[in-house]
Amino acid sequence: MTNELIQQRKAWSVLIVSTLAFTVCFMVWMMFGVIGIPIKKMLDLNATQFGLLMAMPVLTGSLVRVPLGIWTDRYGGRIVMALLMSATVPAIWLMSYATAYWQFLVIGLFVGLAGGSFSVGTPYVARWFPKKQQGMAMGVYGAGNSGSAVNKFIAPVILVAFGWTMVPQVYAAIMAGTVVVFWSFSYSAPSHLVTSRESFRDQLKTLKDPVVLKYCQYYSIVFGGYVALALWMVQYYIGEYGLDIRVAALLAACFSLPGGVLRAMGGVLSDKYGAHAVTWWVLWVSWICLFLLSYPQTEFTIATVTGPQTFVLGLNVYMFTAIMFILGIAFAFGKASVFKYIADDYPHNIGAISGIVGLAGGLGGFILPILFGALVDLTGIRSSAFMLMYGVVWVSLIWMYWTEVRKTSVMGRPHPESAFQA
């Protein structure tokens, strides 16, 4: 067997087992999207408190992304990923013993470490593939976002049969088993390590790069919005349409599943057509979907020649789910295209840049659920969550137009001149 063939087999083994690990990590990270509902009832939480409960794991999963990305560059993805997953197992198990609100918040911070796995796996798998396949590789790995949908399939079944406390115990066992599988079928490559001994401060100077900030803005909607809605949708279906938790979770998965699985297709499209073209269309599709989703259930009466007539405007559960499905596809493509930007523009610093952009996306996923809850408490309108996201997409569209689209119409998409590319 030739050395090239051996390397290809190792590359695909790394990609497959890393995607499995990321799927399990994301499933755990999104755990509160389902078990948070009985916890909310048990603790009598308002919408803002509920939003904070769901957002706590997202906070730590976001904050650790920058150091994890840098450590992956220095020490390799295999050891960092294995240690990260192992560290979450005790916290996941302890979740089933929490009884007070503050206990859920604190334990949620430690469970949230699982969310940092994205910044480990992205540079890890990308370096095993040639440049022309990196978009595909990162897209396949990113399809582990479908762990959010897996959570919606598994957790309600366990919850209804055994109670919510059994869910963390099952998830802890699954995570422990995944650590063993990952270590058994992954590989290390010393040539993939970044030998530079720059300090954290030096690498974090990339935050001064306006191009990196722009990618952070894009990712805050396609990933941050995805995470926030994946957490929010089960209780939204229950509150808006009066559904059973199992039916609500199943319909919510219609957004989560394509939002994860189709990320690989987004990577392929980004390789073929370029990150700019894919991201531009993603933002426009998202803008249209969020505009439709923002309209609240409305009932109004008008005076006619034959007397008062009452009209009802609003999305029924079928139309709502169909639009959410389309939005999930758009977000999936967008998550892949943003990281194709990074692979193209920062090939020697993928770990640090992906960590920073991932941090911005994760912080979006942390802040948005809290704002969703606050808006519901203030206005009483559930669709205010979509109104907020509609505004965020507008910011991204305007930014992209002024920095890329106008220049593209004259000279084609420019490659950013950045002092941080090397």
pLDDT in tens, 68-109: 877 888 888 899 999 999 999 999 999 999 999 999 999 999
Mutual angle of helices 77-94 and 101-111, in 10-degree steps: 160
* Range 171-178 average pLDDT: 96
Q: Are 53 and 31 in contact (CB under 8 A)?
A: no
Lowest mean pLDDT among 249-263, 340-354, 405-419: 405-419
**Residue-by-residue DSSP string for 334-367:** HHHHHHHHHHHH-TT-HHHHHHHHHHHHHHHHHH
**Could you report the per-residue pLDDT of 97-154, keeping only the tens digit for each?**
999 999 999 999 999 999 889 888 888 898 888 877 877 787 788 888 888 889 999 9
**pLDDT at residue 406, as a whole number:** 63
Amino acid at 226: Y
pTM recorded for the entire structure = 0.82
Confidence bin at 203 (pLDDT 50/70/90): low
Distance CA 84, CA 236 (A): 32
**What domains lie within the chain, and their CATH numbers?**
3-184+200-408 (1.20.1250.20)
Residue 329 or 359, more confident:
329
